[in-house]
Structure formats: C-alpha cells, structure tokens
C-alpha cells in the first residue's frame, strides 16, 4: 500500500460521549457538506432498550448530528430498515431516539416506506442484483453509525455490515440463501471461516460506500451477538472516512488476536481493491498509539448448537431474524419453558437452511421456511421468520 495515502482513523474514549464524538470528528477531513442531503444511518435493527450494545446509542447519533449541524447548513435525515417483523419507528422509539426524532433540522425516514429500487451488481461474485431503499437517490452523503458488536454469523458487525439496513425489507434475507460449494471450497483454502453470506455482504461493497463512519463503542456487545450477547461499557468512539480502516481499528481494540480472516466479509472487501487497508499497519491512527483503547471482548461462540439447561437450539446457517426471534421467545417465556421442559425432556428447536436430518431429535420444532425440507421429521412452523406468538402457540398445542 502507498504509505503516503494511509487512511486516518481517529479514536477517543470519554464517559461524556459527545466529547468523544467531537474529538474524533475534529481529527478527520470532512468535505464541505453545505446544502447536501445527509443520511445518518445508525443500527436500529430491533425493538430493544437503549445502551444494551444491540442498537446504536442515540447519544452518539445525536452528537454526530449536532457536530455537523453546527458546521454545515445541510438537510439531515435519520433512518434504518430493521429486521423482519419489526416496526421501524417503534424500534427507534424504544431504543431511545424519540427526542432526537423531534429535533429541529433532522427528519426521520423509514427506509422501507417508498417502493424499492433494484440495483445491478455485475461485479458481484454471487450477488448480482439487490433491491434497496427507494430513497437511494436522495442522499449525497451517508454516515454509517454502527454499534460495535460480535456476530455469530459474520464474526463482528461494524461500519460496513451496518449498510445492510439500506436493503429493502426482507430482501436482506436473500444474502442468506446462496449455495456455491465450489466458490466456498476455493476460498476456504485461505479463509477457513468464509460462508456464502460473507461473499454476498462483500459483493454489496460494489454499491454501498459509506462516506463517513462513526463506530459506537460506548456500549459494545460481546459474545452471542447480534442480539443476545453481553453489553460492555467502553465509552469509546472510532471514526474515519474510510469504512474498512474504521472496521479494522474496531477489531484491533476489541479482538486484538484476530486478523481480517476472522471477519471474512471484511477480508473479501480488502481484496477487492489493491489500495484498501489490509491491517493496522496500513492505517494512520490518531492518537498514534491505541493500546490504551484495547479491551478484548468475548468472541462470538463457534458452536452453532446452543444448549441451555432445558432447551436445545440447533442453528445451522440461520439468519439474524430467526435467531433473534428464538432468543426473544426464550427470554420472554422462561417461566413457561421451565414449567414444561426439563434437561431430560428438553425443548428442541432447529433453525437455518443448513439443518440436516441427522441434527434432529424426533420431537424438534423446525422453525422457519428454511427448515421445510425436513418437515416430515419434526414439527414444522412456517414463516420467514415465524412470529414469536405463533411459535409459542404451536408449542403449547403440542404439549402432552
Ligand atoms: S426462515 Fe428464518 S433463517 Fe430462513 S431465511 Fe427466513 S428468517 Fe432467515
């Protein structure tokens, strides 16, 4: 890489999170945004409470907005498209964004409101076209504001993966449905963890190019992300106009023993462009030394079969929607489950398109259309994803 063109990543730690955001943004060369239409794109994928490390902390988004509003007379928008069966406005409100949505000078957008646009990706390895938000042509400048979190399916979820929210409604699921054994076999020679999902996410980099990234590590999520991990307060902000550089630094402080191969979609993106950063050495950080920010987080579990005392969850290549639904089902109905299921006679659940018949017990609930192939070998619950209440109803109906 040409050393004179190293991307800059700024990093700051401060309990006063707006100070950390301001400090980071002061170090970057942001173009004149006067008169521009700017999308602030936090990660608000779920109806969850604030400061759990699941959705972006609204204080971070507010600080970015206030910083830019002070400098530029521009049109500011804030929006997202959450996971299936989630109301966008309710997700923002529950996540603590109500005050910001009422602020003067910023307008809320449900990115799923207008009819979508279909974009071609001729260079994509497996993803050749995708439907994106109908607002696609309305933005001059996109700011990705993800929360730093571990992710069971992709290693970590950072600035680039946050761009998945620009995909229209359930078209996000399309990324989970590819099957390219030859391509995978070839890539696995150098990238053991790679899956079709990683390739599809990397293909999006041909069309999704966030202009500025502000990674929220005020509260990060370790372990079983994207929604069931443990929240860790880090009070840290990472920012860059180069999304790959920002994501590399986020990994350097949260998983110092990882390389990009542990987050295969980032490794694939780094290989697409010869000038893109590939490691810490290709990036200028400010401050120069980042040791003080390092806080190793628990990585996501490598096992895809999760055992609770009285629940067996078999997850093979599900997507976040089914996984989140199951975790919510378990969280919201613990008393019911404890009353009716024991370690000797557990509740058996299976999700994901990679389930094999040999994974299943005789009384397994096969949840979601991905498991239909095995519907004769368990109790099939249709939907993509089935809603929590339907799953619970069918479990109750099948109690003996
Ligand atoms: S059935 Fe579940 S795992 Fe399969 S695509 Fe739909 S939401 Fe994802």
Report CA Rg, the chain: 21
pLDDT, tens digit, 9 for 90 and up, residues 99-123: 999 999 999 999 999 999 999 999 9
Return the higher-pLDDT residue of 339 and 306.
339
Atom number in ligand 1 closest to CA 352 = 3
pLDDT confidence bin for 301, thresholds 50/70/90: confident
In contact, 45 and 83? CB cutoff 8 Å: yes
Instruction: Indicate the fold that domain 3-293 takes in CATH.
Output: Rossmann fold (3.40.50)
In our burial notation (b when 16+ CB lie closer than 10 A, e otherwise), range 67-97 reads bbbeebebbbbbbbbbbbbbebeebbebbbb
Please state, in angstroms and rounded to a whole number, the distance separating the CA atoms of residues 205 and 203: 5
Checking if the pLDDT of 371 tops 70, the result is yes
Kind plus residue range of the DSSP H or E element containing 215: strand 212-222
Ligand 1 centroid–CA 242 distance in Å is 32
Count of CB atoms situated within 10 Å of the CB of 400: 5
Q: What's the confidence (pLDDT) of residue 83? A: 87
In contact, 229 and 149? CB cutoff 8 Å: yes
The angle formed by the CA atoms of residues 173, 115 and 207, to the nearest 5 degrees, is: 60
Q: What's the confidence (pLDDT) of residue 324? A: 82
What torsion, rounded to 10 degrees, do the Cα atoms 138, 139, 144, 145 define?
Answer: -80
In contact, 109 and 37? CB cutoff 8 Å: no
Nearest to 236 by CA among 216, 253, 255: 216
Segment 66-92 shows an average pLDDT of 95
Segment 228-240 shows an average pLDDT of 96
Q: What's the confidence (pLDDT) of residue 1? A: 53
Checking if the pLDDT of 343 tops 90, the result is no
Checking if the pLDDT of 175 tops 60, the result is yes
Ligand 1 centroid–CA 202 distance in Å is 20
**Probe target for ligand 1 pocket from 84, 153, 176, with the most ligand atoms within 8 Å of CB:** 176
Please state, in angstroms and rounded to a whole number, the distance separating the CA atoms of residues 186 and 99: 50
In contact, 28 and 212? CB cutoff 8 Å: yes
Checking if the pLDDT of 61 tops 90, the result is yes
Domain ranges of the chain: 3-293, 305-397
Ligand 1 centroid–CA 333 distance in Å is 21
Nearest to 112 by CA among 171, 26, 62, 65: 171
Q: What's the confidence (pLDDT) of residue 400? A: 67
**Probe target for ligand 1 pocket from 153, 171, 372, 384, with the most ligand atoms within 8 Å of CB:** 384
pLDDT confidence bin for 318, thresholds 50/70/90: confident
């Amino acid at each position: 890489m040409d050393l004179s063109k190293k991307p800059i990543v700024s990093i700051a730690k401060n309990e006063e999170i707006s100070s950390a955001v301001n400090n980071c943004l002061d170090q970057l060369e942001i173009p004149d945004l006067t008169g521009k239409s700017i999308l602030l794109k936090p990660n608000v994928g779920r109806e969850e409470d604030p400061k759990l490390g699941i959705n972006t902390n609204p204080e971070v988004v507010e600080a970015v907005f206030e910083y830019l509003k002070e400098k530029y007379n521009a049109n500011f928008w804030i929006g997202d498209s959450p996971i299936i069966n989630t109301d966008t406005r309710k997700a923002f409100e529950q996540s603590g964004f109500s005050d910001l949505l009422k602020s003067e000078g910023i307008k809320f957008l449900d990115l799923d409101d207008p009819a979508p646009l279909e974009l071609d990706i001729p260079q994509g390895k497996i993803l050749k076209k995708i439907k994106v938000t109908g607002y696609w042509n309305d933005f001059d400048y996109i700011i990705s504001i993800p929360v730093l979190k571990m992710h069971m399916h992709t290693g970590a979820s950072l600035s680039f993966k946050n761009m998945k929210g620009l995909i229209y409604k359930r078209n996000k699921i399309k990324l989970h449905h590819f099957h390219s054994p030859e391509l995978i076999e070839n890539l696995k020679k150098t990238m053991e963890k790679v899956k079709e999902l990683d390739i599809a996410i990397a293909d999006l980099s041909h069309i999704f190019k966030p202009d500025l990234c502000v990674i929220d590590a005020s509260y990060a999520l370790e372990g079983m992300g994207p929604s069931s991990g443990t929240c860790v307060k880090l009070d840290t902000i990472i920012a860059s106009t180069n999304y790959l550089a920002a994501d590399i630094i986020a990994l350097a402080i949260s998983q110092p023993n990882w390389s990009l191969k542990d987050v295969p979609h980032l490794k694939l993106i780094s290989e697409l462009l010869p000038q893109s950063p590939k490691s810490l050495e290709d990036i200028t950080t400010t401050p120069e030394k980042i040791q003080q920010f390092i806080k190793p987080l628990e990585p996501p579990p490598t096992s895809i079969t999760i055992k609770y005392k009285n629940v067996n969850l078999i997850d093979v290549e599900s997507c976040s929607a089914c996984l989140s639904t199951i975790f919510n089902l378990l969280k919201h109905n613990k008393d019911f489950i404890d009353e009716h299921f024991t370690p000797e006679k557990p509740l058996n659940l299976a999700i994901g398109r990679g389930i094999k018949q040999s994974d299943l017990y005789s009384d397994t609930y096969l949840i979601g259309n991905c498991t239909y192939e095995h519907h004769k070998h368990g109790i099939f619950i249709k939907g993509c994803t089935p809603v929590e209440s339907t799953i619970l109803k069918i479990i109750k109906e099948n109690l003996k």
